[in-house]
Structure 1
């Protein structure tokens, strides 16, 4: 099993994403036969109702996580909430699931996003290079 710091977390909804500010967080690659990952997010209690609804519905969600540093390319996971604990001012959300896209797919997602926005030719190349430097959040097709 390998453990990493969870640097940022977003829940990707249909046409938007919900940024979850972290107090702390962990990412665990279980390195099992099923390629299972665990993410634990420790965040503000105001997100309890949001996560509680997802947990009660047993709904799979797409999680965009940046591991170790916020500057790193995001990793996308398809996950379910397996535990939700409420404390006085914070909550702990434990997700379990699988890596959906690896970091090398970010460039493909970015290119698709820029093409959808109508970029072409040299303008496309310039925009692609600029965005690869700052790695903005992208919407993932489900």
Structure 2
């Protein structure tokens, strides 16, 4: 392509969740890509072939031009989740699925996963040696965490 400014990087989407207040909703999809446009605005595109039950969520957000906080894991499941503030560009229904295109920016809300995991395990009552064992095990397994809101 030469030096036409097309230095986009494409990654495979492994998982996708939508954050709503203090909860995360898993979005089931058949295939997905995330593209770093490498532009001056720091734009990313997320394209996912989502299951039909999620179509209304994206259609409503598109119609209302609503921001959606989207958390994704890219390339391999062991990677830390990345959080994006996105808007829905389009929703195209295809049989029992929809092709959803989101445009957004990486937020600096990037989770401090190890610290969140430690806090979560302490809230579960783990202490001393068992805390270390659970921490090591879960740092590899990467369970999804939803911590209670601080009051």
TM (normalized to structure 2)?
A: 0.78
Give 3-state SS (helix, strand or coil) of 2:55's partner. helix
Partner of 1:88: 95
Structure ID, larger Rg = 2
Give 3-state SS (helix, strand or coil) of 1:71's partner. coil
Q: What's the CA shift string for 1:6-51, capped at 9, x where partnerless?
A: 1111112223222111111110011111211111111122221121
Q: CA deviation at 1:135?
A: 0.7
Q: What's the CA shift string for 1:32-81, capped at 9, x where partnerless?
A: 11211111111122221121112222221221111122333222212111
State whether residues 49 and 97 of structure 2, in contact with CA within 8 Å, keep that contact through their aligned partners in structure 1.
yes
Q: RMSD across aligned C-alpha pairs, in angstroms?
A: 2.4
**Whole-angstrom distance in 2 between the partners of 1:58 and 1:64:** 19
Partner of 2:65: 58
- Structure 1 runs not aligned, ≥5 long: none
- Structure 2 runs not aligned, ≥5 long: 1-7
The aligned runs of 1:93-104 (5 Å cut-off) are 93-101=100-108
TM (normalized to structure 1)?
A: 0.82
Change (3 A) 1:64 1:129: same
